[in-house]
Structure 1
Amino acid sequence: MNNLNYVLFILISSLVLLTSCDKVDHPYEKVASVNLDTTLYPNGTWDDYLANEYPSFSQNTNTNVNVLIEDYTGHKCNNCPTAADIAHGIHENNPNRVFVASIHIDPGANLSFQSAFPNATKYYTDHTNPDAVVYGKEFENGFNFGGNPNGTVNRKTVDNKMFDLSGTWQSRTSDILTANDLKVNIQSVFNYYQSTNGGFLHVEAEKKTSEAIEMNAVVYVIQDSLVDWQLMPDNTHNEFYIHRDKHLGSIDNNPFGIKAFDADAPVGEKVLLDYSYTLPANINKENLHFLIYVYDVDTYEILQVIKQKIE
């Protein structure tokens, strides 16, 4: 993959926890930390955090495969509201297993907000972000990404197409939910501190398949909803349109994530991924959540996704 030019710092857990007290017992073979901002912890030293607030994950395994619909969209795309409604409807019918990320970008990473028409001055908001631009460039050729609205369902390729129109999203989703082929289990905890408006996301991933798949993990930051202008199917301009599940980028600014498992990792291997995050000052924590997914590096296919609320 051309865009995976990132640094992954893998530590043996005993080294990470060398200075922590014996209250912390981590059964993980590997711990991956991404430039943690430990100053977000207001209640003492980082050793105090490791000893007293680092989570323990249950041994229960999630047996359900979940689905991520990536809805590539734009607020000057008149067909995009219909696609957004379809994606939201699929989520509402499967609220605990189907999640949506509305990614504002055009093929080739053209910025949708630059399009001109008589009411262009009302569409001043740039809903894109650097990670979305990377996706636009990565997927503009060879993936059937022909223009907004378009989308992927777990980025699974069907009939030689990873991207497809919204009319196929329900059947694609149903096929994945029915097959329920779990290849990786994901659990997460987010510890939030109001005084610093930030916290720490801890993700445990466990490989559940004997297949030789190199896997990376990505964490999307999603804004639940916001009101802004949108071009509608009848070419009217809706000032009060509700944009749902807006993709704000990744938690660590790594659009293609960090390594979770090498291809030769055995069944049952676990990895713990640690992130720190400061919430945007202009968005309430109740209006944000994370989507955490693990995907096949060779095919881009998302193998599992979970939602983590910020509470």
Structure 2
Amino acid sequence: AARRDRPAPAPVHTDLTSVTPTGTTARFRRPTSLDEAVRILRDEPGATVVAGSTDHGVLVNIRGDRPENVLAVDRIPELRGITWADDHVEIGAAQTLTEIERSLSRTVPLLGQLLPQFASRLIRNSATLGGNLGTGSPIGDTPPALLALEASLVLVSADGEREVPLEDYFTGYRQSVRRADELIAAIRIPTPTSGPAPLTAFHKIAKRRFDDISSVAVGYAVTVTDGVVVKARIGLGGVAATPLRAYATEELLEGNPWTAETVAEAAAVLRAEGTPMSDHRASSAYRTAMLGTSLERFFVETQESQEAVR
């Protein structure tokens, strides 16, 4: 009980080398500064980068993967923390999902809707946004919501940093514009400066309600003024080789009244977004159907919430 009242121990620099059962040499390092981490990646771009290790740990445990060069970035101060600027909030890539949930659930409601559906509390205590985005998985839960929020990523290397819109980050199945010598340092989410707050929702379609991998995931941020959609952002996961924005659906919604008729027309367009495949989680036809159903459900939810306010 006394330990809970004391701050966490300061990061300790770690550099361990061991010989694996196959006779190869394996190295594990946990640097305590960003400069050291990017210098290692510059010189050794093949290093396996881990933060919470909730994804990589499964490969080690189930598949028996034994990487020979591991770089842990979870205790680097420059990759942690949440800071507010005039027009955005910046989330450190190594900030755990539980920490983000506690800090931003009210101020960024879409994250408050997403994070309770992300795996289990045990996983959220270790998992990070940087790790979820860094794997490039098309069924990761955070990309659809972050796409709807128009997030961008700060990529850092020994040569400096650059900012990339998340919609331009993914280039193919588990591929991205991030170079082997770069780390995801932070995620920036724009904050509205004026006008009404957008209507938001995160829909996760899976076989189990909690602690499961998505078959389809959809993030919504739709701004309605005087009954008309003035801005629509929709992020999709599980329906293509990469997470993606539903540009055609967004375009149809914007400038039209937020009505059941408009939503029905937009739902037909949304069903055609992406190139869903069939696998053991869901068929392509089911994924297509769920896209349209999701938008219709979102509309009903917004109507019910507005009625509750009245």
**Fold conserved between structures, TM > 0.5:** no
State TM-score, norm by structure 2: 0.28
Higher helix share: 2
Higher relative contact order (CA 8 A, sep 6+): 1
State TM-score, norm by structure 1: 0.28
